[in-house]
């Protein structure tokens, strides 16, 4: 084993350092495996209850009427997430699109959307119109209000109470920290916030952005009162196999409204051919609990490696996890660059290319991105990126298998070690 690591560029010092860290993670990893087992059973149970058959993998074209594979998969999602209804489609192009459709389908002119977990994910700023944008909710007369999380990352219940008014139609909660430094919200915290919102105004639609959160815990936001929940299939629930797609689950009425926005009024969920992607959607969802577990192990391993070397890591090496994202603050640009070069060099695809910081649309500094993925932009696959600005933090996530996540992190350490940025 060590010889093969050596041939792949991991020197004995780096390997030994990694092994030393791993010795102390056995109990954590056992707990993650148990979570994967529970969620795996949940998915298999749903597939059995919904009578998934080989027929479901057939393709459909054109209008896609009576697509049994698509309709059964939606039953499977509804069953796993314990909701009345689900929309799981290749026509939902990404996570942002799933969220946008859920919002636009359920909000009408004069309504207000209230975010109670602070500023939403960057791409939603233009959907909502926080940054003026063509076709935003703001252009359709939907107003927006926001209550930030408290400095300790918890919900500001007093602020929420004050912000809810007669126009408040929907509340949005983002589970994952995204690319912010606040802690990720646990499902039980989200449940408390939803209960509170409902106690103030029972008919508010509570929607959760569940990106990066699926299968990290034994329960999901829809188990604690979320009326709607959305996410991307090139993150956790696609299991690395879905080549595109997004999902929206929740109360029937609200999912229907989203479907009328996704396609058209009148047609709703009845149309939408599956174009041959159904097998990958099913198989990816089947694998998702163990893929998520692999990504979690990678995140925890990285947190412990870099914490031991004296860097600030978010979340830290010991805290509970509610999503799969890990941030490491290097304090210097060279650290971010070396880390990303390591992740790239460990990839199964495009390992021979060298990532470099570059100007990117939508960013106010150069950004470096590392990914060698089978599916473009798939962030359930091992990937890392960092803006080249203080505090020079790198965000990384994913890993379809634990051995790959481990190799990626060892390779990142190797690059930092070779550059003399860390001493072992
Ligand atoms: C990734 C992500 C999104 C957007 O998903 P895309 O597929 O990139 O459009 C939204 N919210 C959160 C928290 C995310 O992590």
Between CA 328 and CA 39 the distance in angstroms is 28
Phi-psi region of 144 (alpha: psi -120 to 50; beta: other; left: phi over 0): beta
Ligand 1 atom, smallest distance to 99 CA: 10
Ligand 1 atom, smallest distance to 246 CA: 7
Between CA 422 and CA 62 the distance in angstroms is 57
> Cβ-count burial of 308 within 10 angstroms (0-12 exposed, 13-18 middle, 19+ buried)?
middle
Give the pairing of strands 205-209 and 168-174: parallel
Between CA 113 and CA 125 the distance in angstroms is 12
- For the Cβ of 121 lying below 6 angstroms from any atom of ligand 1, the answer is yes
DSSP string, 131-186: S--TT-TGGGT-EEEE-PPPTTS---HHHHHHH--TTEEEEEEE-S-TTSSSPPPP
* Phi and psi angles of residue 394, each rounded to the nearest 5 degrees, phi first: -110, 140
Nearest in space to 168 (alpha carbons), one of 113, 245, 223:
113
What is the three-class DSSP state of 394?
Answer: strand
Q: Give every strand in the sheet of 367-371, ordered side by side.
A: 312-314, 326-329, 393-397, 383-387, 367-371
**What's the average model confidence in pLDDT over 283-298?**
98
The whole model's pTM is what?
A: 0.96
Residue pLDDT, tens place only, 173-227: 999 987 777 889 999 999 999 999 999 999 999 999 999 999 999 999 999 999 9
Distance (angstroms) between ligand 1 centre and the Cα of 417 equals 33
CB atoms within 10 A of CB 117: 28
Residue identifier of the C-alpha nearest atom 7 of ligand 1: 95
The residue whose CB lies within 8 Å of the most ligand 1 atoms, and thus the one to mutate among 101, 117, 185, 209, is 209
Instruction: Say which range, 179-188, 237-246, 301-310, 373-382, has the weakest mean pLDDT.
Output: 179-188
Average pLDDT, the chain: 96
- For the Cβ of 176 lying below 6 angstroms from any atom of ligand 1, the answer is yes
Q: How far apart are the first and last CA of the chain?
A: 21
The residue whose CB lies within 8 Å of the most ligand 1 atoms, and thus the one to mutate among 115, 124, 130, 232, is 232
Band of the pLDDT at 365, cuts 50, 70, 90? confident
Residue pLDDT, tens place only, 84-103: 999 999 999 999 999 999 99
Looking at residue 122, its pLDDT comes to 87
The residue whose CB lies within 8 Å of the most ligand 1 atoms, and thus the one to mutate among 89, 93, 96, is 96
Residue identifier of the C-alpha nearest atom 8 of ligand 1: 95
- For the Cβ of 178 lying below 6 angstroms from any atom of ligand 1, the answer is yes
The residue whose CB lies within 8 Å of the most ligand 1 atoms, and thus the one to mutate among 89, 90, 95, is 95
CB atoms within 10 A of CB 265: 7
Residue pLDDT, tens place only, 268-290: 999 999 999 999 999 999 999 99
CB atoms within 10 A of CB 317: 18
Looking at residue 362, its pLDDT comes to 64
Distance (angstroms) between ligand 1 centre and the Cα of 22 equals 30
Ligand 1 atom, smallest distance to 123 CA: 4
Residue pLDDT, tens place only, 45-76: 999 999 999 999 999 999 999 999 999 999 99
Contacts of 35 (CB under 8 A, 6+ apart): 215, 216, 217, 218, 289, 293
Distance (angstroms) between ligand 1 centre and the Cα of 232 equals 7
Looking at residue 364, its pLDDT comes to 77
Contact of 147 with 115, CB cutoff 8 Å: yes
DSSP string, 98-129: HHHHHHHHH--TT-EEEESSSSPPHHHHHHHT
Residue pLDDT, tens place only, 140-155: 999 999 999 999 999 9
- For the Cβ of 96 lying below 6 angstroms from any atom of ligand 1, the answer is yes
Between CA 343 and CA 413 the distance in angstroms is 9
Sign for the pseudo-dihedral over CA of 116, 219, 288, 70: negative
Contacts of 383 (CB under 8 A, 6+ apart): 343, 369, 370, 371, 373, 396, 397, 398
Helices and strands counted in the chain (H then E): 12, 12
- For the Cβ of 257 lying below 6 angstroms from any atom of ligand 1, the answer is no
User: With pLDDT > 90 as the criterion, what percentage of the chain qualifies?
Assistant: 96
Between CA 335 and CA 345 the distance in angstroms is 15
Nearest in space to 383 (alpha carbons), one of 358, 363, 400:
400
Residue pLDDT, tens place only, 390-399: 999 999 999 9
Contact of 98 with 232, CB cutoff 8 Å: yes
The residue whose CB lies within 8 Å of the most ligand 1 atoms, and thus the one to mutate among 235, 242, 376, 381, is 235
Between CA 401 and CA 161 the distance in angstroms is 44
Contact of 210 with 188, CB cutoff 8 Å: no
Sign for the pseudo-dihedral over CA of 255, 261, 263, 264: positive
Sign for the pseudo-dihedral over CA of 356, 360, 364, 368: negative
Contact of 143 with 86, CB cutoff 8 Å: no
Distance (angstroms) between ligand 1 centre and the Cα of 15 equals 34
Helix (H) / strand (E) element for 230: namely strand 228-232
């Amino acid at each position: 084993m060590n010889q093969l690591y050596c041939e792949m560029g991991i020197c004995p010092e780096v390997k030994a350092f990694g092994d030393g860290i791993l010795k102390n993670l056995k109990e954590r990893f056992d707990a993650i495996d148990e979570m994967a087992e529970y969620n795996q059973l949940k998915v298999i149970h749903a597939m059995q209850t919904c009578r998934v058959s080989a027929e479901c993998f057939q393709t459909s074209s054109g209008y896609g009427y009576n697509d049994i594979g698509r309709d059964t998969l939606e039953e499977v999602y509804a069953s796993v997430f314990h909701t009345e209804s689900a929309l799981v489609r290749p026509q939902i192009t990404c996570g942002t699109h799933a969220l946008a459709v859920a919002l636009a389908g359920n909000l009408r002119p004069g309504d207000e959307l209230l975010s109670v977990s602070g500023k939403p994910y960057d791409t939603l700023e233009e959907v909502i119109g926080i940054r003026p944008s063509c076709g935003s909710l703001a252009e359709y007369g939907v107003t927006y209000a926001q209550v930030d999380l408290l400095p300790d990352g918890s919900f500001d219940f007093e602020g929420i109470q004050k912000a809810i008014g007669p126009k408040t139609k929907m509340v949005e909660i983002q589970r994952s920290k995204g690319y912010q430094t606040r802690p990720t919200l646990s499902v039980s915290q989200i449940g408390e916030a939803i209960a509170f919102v409902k106690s103030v105004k029972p008919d508010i639609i509570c929607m959760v952005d569940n990106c990066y959160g699926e299968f990290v815990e034994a329960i999901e936001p829809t188990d604690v009162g979320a009326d709607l929940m959305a996410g991307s299939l090139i993150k956790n629930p696609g299991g690395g196999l879905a080549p595109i797609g997004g999902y929206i689950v929740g109360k029937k009425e609200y999912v229907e409204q989203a479907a009328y926005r996704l396609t058209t009024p009148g047609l709703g969920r009845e149309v939408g051919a599956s174009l041959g992607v159904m097998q990958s959607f099913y198989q990816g969802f089947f694998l998702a609990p163990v893929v998520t577990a692999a990504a979690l192990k990678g995140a925890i391993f990285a947190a412990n490696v870099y914490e031991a070397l004296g860097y600030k890591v978010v979340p830290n090496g010991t805290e509970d996890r509610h999503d799969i994202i890990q941030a490491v603050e290097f304090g210097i640009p060279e650290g971010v660059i070396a880390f990303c070069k390591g992740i790239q060099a460990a990839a199964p695809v495009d390992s021979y290319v060298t990532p470099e910081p570059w100007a990117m649309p939508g960013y106010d500094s150069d950004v470096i991105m590392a990914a060698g993925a089978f599916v473009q932009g798939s962030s359930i696959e091992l990937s890392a990126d960092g803006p080249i600005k203080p505090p020079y933090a790198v965000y990384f996530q994913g890993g379809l298998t634990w051995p790959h996540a481990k190799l990626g992190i060892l390779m990142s350490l190797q690059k930092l070690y070779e550059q003399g940025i860390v001493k072992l």
